């Protein structure tokens, strides 16, 4: 078992998820030192940051060596798919996150669909294409609405739900012909549109062992009442009360367990997060997608709800000792509201100065997602999603009230947020 104040930790990434991970490191009894690469404006206020992007694999390995890092937590999906964990392992550095073979479950939607079918895990019907004409012919026989997915990584934006044939055809052409998502769309998946409510299930996996983290629901669309284009996520809450004990048992038996077993059967030594997007349909839960890292903004509501030290949990998974730890969860609710730049997910301004009022409430968190520290020390906006504002409270209603009150303490010119995070659940409750 890891001793107190033993680990030097490197957190790789620059978003709100990584700021939440850094905060967990700072409050962990087993962490001696934490650094980040590349980090962001808020992370830089909490720990040393190094200007190495998450894609610079050799430089990240060199940083881990020079800083005498014992444990690397990989936040985003791209470095996982590029084999960062593989390279760290070659240098005897422990890391949390799957190697490239496991990361393929997120990096290729076609690979995942084949995996789901092979292991008889419930999901929507689908077909893969890398040429326009066969895809257009397939659309002629498909039911609407239909889902068009770029096969590769597209930062949560490579999914189009087409409600008309012309919209579906345009999505196919934009992905394959004009490469709207770069090489990620050189192959596409055309998938049955599943109806119901989407939930997020996060598993901490270590080979055939796994632990199910608190359930959550994300809000992917940019507009109120789930309208407009998909984003990386505009807010989340936990727990997802839609998932009662019975439904969670069904998910565990029909999705979580067979997924973990199937991955191990493929010869993949998966040690990291398996984040399963699930649609709860009238005929039961079905898999929408796999991600091989923590969700963003789900991380910002899951980690604050853990009594168990999340760093200890991740380290046990990485060192194949996950069975030695018991997961404890707080009864409180957590809700996160994302503050974005007006115009996201399309074009949006950068470089706006941010002001943040001091907040000392230990149940409230302002996670920086897309900020940078200017030369004068001020914080500026740097990406589409700028902050994740989270509150923990005894009810979802209180958590929503506190989170929205906290959003008022953060100001920048183009600030945009949805005012209905958690509203669907609150209506159900009331």
pLDDT digits (tens, 9 = 90+) for 3-54: 777 999 999 999 999 999 999 999 999 999 999 999 999 999 999 999 999 9
Are the C-beta atoms of residues 198 and 132 closer than 8 Å to each other? Answer: no
The pLDDT value given to residue 157: 64
Mean pLDDT of 137-154: 85
Give me 231's structure tokens.
């984003």
The pLDDT value given to residue 193: 87
**Sequence-distant (≥ 6) Cβ neighbours of residue 82 within 8 angstroms:** 55, 57, 100
pLDDT digits (tens, 9 = 90+) for 335-370: 999 999 999 999 999 999 999 998 889 999 999 999
The pLDDT value given to residue 268: 98
Give me 213's structure tokens.
């983290």
The angle formed by the CA atoms of residues 423, 17 and 208, to the nearest 5 degrees, is 100
- Least confident among 120-134, 287-301, 334-348: 120-134
- Least confident among 85-89, 187-191, 209-213: 187-191
The secondary element (H helix, E strand) that includes residue 61 is helix 57-66
The pLDDT value given to residue 185: 67
Q: How big, in percent rounded to 5, are the helix, strand and coil portions of the chain?
A: 35, 30, 40
Sign of CA dihedral 255, 279, 221, 419: negative
Q: Which residue has the higher pLDDT, 162 or 206?
A: 206
Are the C-beta atoms of residues 234 and 421 closer than 8 Å to each other? Answer: yes
The pLDDT value given to residue 143: 85
The pLDDT value given to residue 183: 76
Domains of the chain and any CATH numbers: 7-99 (3.40.50.20), 125-192 (3.30.1490.20), 197-324 (3.30.470.20), 333-429 (3.90.600.10)
């Amino acid at each position: 078992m890891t001793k107190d104040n033993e680990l030097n930790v490197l957190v790789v990434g620059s978003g709100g998820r990584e700021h939440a991970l850094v905060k967990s490191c700072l409050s962990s009894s087993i962490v001696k030192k934490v650094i980040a690469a590349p980090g962001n404006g808020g992370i830089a206020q909490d720990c040393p940051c190094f200007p190495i992007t998450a894609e610079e694999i050799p430089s990240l390995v060199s940083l881990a060596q020079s800083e005498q890092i014992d444990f690397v937590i990989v936040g985003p999906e791209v470095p996982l798919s590029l084999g960062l964990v593989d390279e760290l392992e070659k240098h005897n550095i422990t890391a949390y996150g799957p190697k490239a073979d496991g990361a393929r479950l997120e990096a290729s939607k076609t690979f995942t669909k084949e995996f789901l079918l092979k292991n008889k895990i419930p999901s929507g019907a689908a077909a893969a294409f890398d040429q326009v004409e066969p895809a257009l012919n397939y659309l002629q026989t498909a039911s609407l609405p239909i889902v068009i997915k770029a096969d590769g990584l597209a930062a949560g934006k490579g999914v189009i739900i087409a409600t008309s044939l012309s919209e579906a055809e345009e999505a196919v052409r934009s992905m394959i012909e004009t490469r709207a998502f770069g090489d990620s769309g050189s192959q596409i998946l055309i998938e049955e549109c599943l109806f119901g409510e989407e939930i997020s299930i996060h598993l901490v996996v270590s080979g055939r062992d796994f632990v199910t983290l608190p359930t959550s629901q994300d809000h992917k669309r940019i507009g109120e009442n789930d309208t407009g284009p998909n984003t990386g996520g505009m807010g989340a809450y936990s727990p997802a009360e839609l998932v009662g004990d019975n439904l969670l048992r069904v998910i565990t038996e029909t999705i979580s367990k067979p997924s973990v077993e199937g991955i191990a059967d493929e010869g993949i030594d998966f040690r990291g997060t398996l984040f399963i997007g699930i649609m709860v349909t009238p005929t039961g839960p079905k898999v929408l997608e796999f991600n091989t890292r923590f969700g963003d903004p789900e991380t910002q509501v899951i980690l604050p709800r853990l009594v168990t030290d999340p760093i200890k949990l991740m380290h046990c998974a990485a060192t194949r000792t996950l069975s030695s730890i018991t997961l404890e969860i707080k009864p409180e609710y957590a809700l996160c509201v994302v503050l974005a730049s007006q115009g996201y997910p399309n074009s949006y301004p950068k470089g706006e100065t941010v002001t943040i009022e001091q907040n000392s409430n230990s149940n409230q968190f302002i996670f920086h997602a897309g900020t940078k520290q200017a030369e004068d020390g001020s914080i500026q906006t740097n990406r589409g999603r700028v902050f994740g504002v989270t509150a923990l409270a005894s009810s979802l209603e209180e958590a929503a009230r506190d989170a929205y009150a906290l959003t008022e303490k953060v100001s920048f010119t183009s600030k945009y947020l949805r005012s209905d995070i958690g509203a669907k659940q609150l209506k159900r409750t009331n």
